[in-house]
Amino acid sequence: MSSSTTQTNESCQYLVFRLGGLDYALDFSKVQELRPLKALERFSSDGEIVSGVVVSRGVIMPIVDMRIAFGPRPPQHDPLTDVIILKLSSCVMGMVVDGVTDIVALKPAQIQPIAGAGAVDYLVGLGEAEGRRLIVVDIDKLMSIRKVQFGARQAA
């Protein structure tokens, strides 16, 4: 969240997505578009997390399968599998998730810190919207960690 948002009581829009049975939320301003996985032309990769690249509207971008990164079991592709195309500060990339559910507005007061998550700086906190608990993530920080981990595996 930006410091101006934190200092005010204005709500921000968050995209809610499912991953391994949990609901996550990310800043909607980082989302360029949503696409079903089957609608994208994919090229595979040897990476564990980076599952290849996709071509979307003539642009080639890496695709990170978050179901591999966070899931204890191999991911299953089904009609609900979505790709969130992200506009990050460093690049444009795709993120595969189990499905996108909705967009919610959260005020800073609705996001509480996660106890013991100090070492995991991409976790913003736990939000609550419409009776659901949401794990709010800083997608720029999360993707920079994933890129570093992937690069280390490739160099080994």
Q: What are the residues whose beta carbons fall under 8 Å from the beta carbon of 9, sequence distance 6 or more?
A: 107, 108, 109
Predicted local distance difference test score (pLDDT) of residue 71:
65
Distance CA(51)–CA(103), nearest Å, equals 26
Residue 42, pLDDT > 60, answer no
- CATH 3.40.50.300 is right for the domain spanning 3-150: no
Is pLDDT larger for residue 150 or for residue 74? 74
Residue 48 has pLDDT above 60, yes or no: no
Say if strands 22-27 and 132-137 run parallel, antiparallel, or are unpaired.
parallel
Burial of 149 (0-12, 13-18, 19+ CB in 10 A): middle
